[in-house]
Structure 1
């Protein structure tokens, strides 16, 4: 019995992945380059995202700047609505003043760094004219991005019931913003890929606003002051915290190490500390267990699919292969789980699945994609799989056959078709 037990211990399979137990209602971990999902836990459950809502507000402000509708130096003054929010001690604002000019940069920094609510409203009014119209823009952009389960009712992430008589037009007084972890990750993915300058601001630990120092609520940033430095995480530079009574404590984080960037989301954790502790678990899991790796080289050919048939050419076939290496983010030690498959482009083939000469060397005839034979969480983006595929191209040129050979081929084909038809008819008699 001792011998059997010892032998079974020796032959026990070695697991290459570390388990990650995330204490959050819902969570997700994503590769920021491709959108590939590395881990998820109930990622499609829609919950109030609290101030993570402001990621959409940030996106629309940066989009307006990019389109030249406003600039960082554009100034605006504070209307009664954002002023009332800023003056309410329950919202711990930066203390906006009326009859004073504020630049877009000042308001954006207060919103992105200190999660200020009133500055988010002021920016929404500047961009769209009113928060109600801005909310329409938020939901239209969510549809364009393909954010599943996302619904926006204000620019801040507060519950509409907190806004008193200032509920945005077109929304209900008892409504709240909703996002799933998947939606939050996709929104963060779009924000940092479309407007990477957002990270320049989200990575600031402190900044000065109207003569006072304000602090970032993202305690995982390196070099946070005082006791908060214990939460610092190497490579962390964003993105957005959130908390309300209904939403609990949530956090969308992003960090980069050795040219590998990850995006994590945890929602409805137990405390402000827990959201960072659970994020650390997710990011450690991603950086420790996954690596970007070339799985198949350039000019790779599937053994029994090295050629395509050619018609009207000086040769009957042409070799095909990938035009670039196939690289992806994989869990360490799982290379053997990946194969490749061709997807031919029917628009360049005839009904008999043949290419028609003349054919150029390097002509695209389809794509080559990776296929995981084991569990795969997929991508947060609709085109994620395409991003990790490469072109399938011809390896040589094939000239068109001369007119005489084409004529002979046509005559041969004509009589071959007649013969086949006669044979089929005779077979039908029996």
Structure 2
């Protein structure tokens, strides 16, 4: 292979301009702008000497959800996301407003103290606002969690660890600090289905996805190493690591790639990632027979939202995580799964994307809310905590009345109803 062709396999010039990425890009579908497709951005990177020196180009690269749809669609297997993240890191932020929004968000996620303060404020609103308050969905709060549980975060309120915990829990920021009802439901479900006790080791940090996507790779790697260190302590270094958040799962599984060139950390990251278990697939594997339907619960129609991080980012795992979620719903008493008329779609949340580009984020979600309304279901569920917030806020803005709950809450509620 000559130097030129060798370079082409590791640079944007490898793009064949076939347009496969264009057909699956949520941003292009609502904007119609070729420059906002993966093909368009790769063209800029390949043709311009310093493409990110232009404010217009930096704006173009910021308007990417990093959902991974283009990577899966690319017939040449180009890891497109890596090029875009590298470009973001080199260019820095586009403007001061975006920089402040992103910095505040992931610095809060990284700070235990700030997360505790945020969590207390969030839970105060969660337990104070009436279930019927219109502010609840606008804040990403479910009506079901009104006045439920205490005001402590999950890790600090859980029972002490057994001598050797059976199963470890990476809670993620939202389930620990903002909506511990998700963590409590997950713990109870794991106990019912597998008989194991779930324990969340204190000291765990944010998974680091927010910092990584904001191109603060130094901070992201710091969080990677902090989590690996916590979970490889002698008391914890053999057990599987369960997580209830799809985005956290995808990022935790990416630790070996992020630390691939960091000596012993690469080995430690690989060992850590092998232990990480996704919510739906883990619970589905624990069910050996269909639950006996005891009660006569009224059948509820429910829509399951496929998180992009499970559809695309975790594809290398070779498991269909979203199919496992559908199987759990099908096995649950009193639930009837309803599919959206136009199939799985991105909700437009994209981590910090909603903060940077709120109008574009809403436009992407608008088609999804219309599809959900057409499905005529009173309940929606997912396992991505970011998607949960987007769904609640989006349905509220679209004036669509429905409950949006994490799948752990839905399944536990179905089990409780079946026992009555």
Shorter-chain TM band: under 0.3
TM-score (norm 1): 0.23
Larger radius of gyration: 1
Higher strand share: 1
Name the one with the larger helix percent. Answer: 2
The normalised TM-score by structure 2 is: 0.23
